[in-house]
């Protein structure tokens, strides 16, 4: 078990907590980051791109001009891809871009990311994150004391924190269930409350 300080919102030490080695001190494997980030981004793609083939374009079915005697190339349809307004040859079609990555791999990648932030000294454990009111200005003041302006904050359900953080482009709040690799690596610092730490251990241990 590794130990780290527990601080309050004024960045004052109020205790310490033990961090499980199987979550916070594992060997970092960058190839897992590549695999799982690619999986997450593929799942987020809408896949709604689509264009019409010549069979789907609405146009006259009549032959454009007679077959012979015009000195022009032979054509039988205004819907052909070479004409403006015609169909598209091999067009993109709506589809699901997601693919499967095993749960064990996703959990291993999360452990690697948490271990990376801990080894970099970028992980901070808070006693709690209770804001008196949902004010972005108040959260900015707290983050100033915690010496960060680019952080992922993990807590139990916290409506005030959610409302306070949503206007800050470099700050993200997530409940424990929403913990994911992309957001850990996207932000420079990781702030975890003691409640979130307990929930995380149950998920990743």
Note the pLDDT tens digit of each residue in 170-200.
999 999 999 999 999 999 999 999 999 988 8
Measured CA to CA, the distance from residue 59 to residue 85 in angstroms comes to 9
Q: What percentage of the chain carries pLDDT values higher than 70?
A: 100
- pLDDT > 80? residue 205: no
How many CB atoms sit inside 10 A of residue 79's CB? 19
The pLDDT, as a whole number, for residue 61 is 85
Q: 199 — phi, psi (to 5°)?
A: -65, -35
pTM above 0.85, yes or no: no
The dihedral over CA atoms of 29, 35, 38, 44, expressed in degrees to the nearest 10, equals -100
* Residue 56 CA neighbour count, 13 Å, CB half: 10
Measured CA to CA, the distance from residue 109 to residue 131 in angstroms comes to 31
- With b for 16 or more beta-carbon neighbours within 10 A and e for fewer, the 107-137 pattern comes to bbbbbbbbbbbbeeebbbbbbebebeebeee
For residues 150-160, average pLDDT: 92
Distances (CA, A) of 187 to 83, 94, 179, 182, 190: 49, 32, 13, 9, 7
Domain 2-46+97-204: homologous superfamily in CATH: Ribosomal protein L4/L1 (3.40.1370.10)
Note the pLDDT tens digit of each residue in 104-122.
999 999 999 999 999 999 9
Instruction: Report residue 3's pLDDT band, with 50, 70 and 90 as the boundaries.
Output: confident
For residues 35-53, average pLDDT: 95
Q: 99 — phi, psi (to 5°)?
A: -140, 170
Note the pLDDT tens digit of each residue in 87-104.
999 999 999 999 999 999
Nearest to 29 by CA among 102, 106, 98: 106
The pLDDT, as a whole number, for residue 101 is 95
DSSP E strands in 13-155: the ranges are 13-19, 123-126, 151-155
For residues 116-143, average pLDDT: 93
| Mean model confidence pLDDT for the chain | 93
86 contacts 79 by C-beta, under 8 angstroms = yes
Measured CA to CA, the distance from residue 87 to residue 131 in angstroms comes to 57
Domain ranges for the chain, please list them: 2-46+97-204, 51-91
Supply 23's token pair: 């979550």
CA–centroid distance for 71 within its chain:
59
- pLDDT > 90? residue 202: no
Supply 148's token pair: 């960060």
For residues 62-74, average pLDDT: 93
Instruction: Report residue 42's pLDDT band, with 50, 70 and 90 as the boundaries.
Output: very high
For residues 138-146, average pLDDT: 94
Instruction: Report residue 34's pLDDT band, with 50, 70 and 90 as the boundaries.
Output: very high
């Amino acid at each position: 078990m590794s130990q780290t300080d527990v601080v309050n919102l004024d960045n004052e030490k109020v205790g310490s907590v033990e961090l499980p080695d199987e979550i916070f001190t594992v060997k970092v494997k960058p190839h897992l980051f590549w695999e799982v980030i690619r999986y997450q981004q593929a799942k987020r793609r809408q896949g709604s791109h689509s264009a019409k083939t010549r069979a789907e374009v609405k146009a006259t079915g009549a032959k454009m001009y007679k077959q012979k005697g015009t000195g022009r190339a032979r054509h039988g349809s205004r819907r052909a891809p070479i004409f403006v307004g015609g169909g598209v040859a091999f067009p993109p079609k709506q589809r699901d871009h997601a693919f499967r990555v095993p749960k064990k791999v996703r959990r291993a990648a999360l452990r690697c990311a948490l271990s990376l932030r801990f080894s970099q000294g970028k992980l901070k454990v808070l006693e709690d994150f209770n804001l008196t009111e949902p004010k972005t200005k108040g959260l900015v003041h707290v983050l100033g004391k915690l010496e960060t302006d680019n952080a992922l904050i993990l807590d139990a359900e916290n409506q005030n924190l959610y409302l306070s953080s949503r206007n800050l482009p470099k700050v993200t709040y997530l409940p424990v269930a929403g913990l994911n690799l992309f957001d850990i690596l996207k932000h420079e610092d990781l702030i975890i409350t003691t409640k979130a730490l307990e929930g995380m251990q149950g998920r990743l241990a």
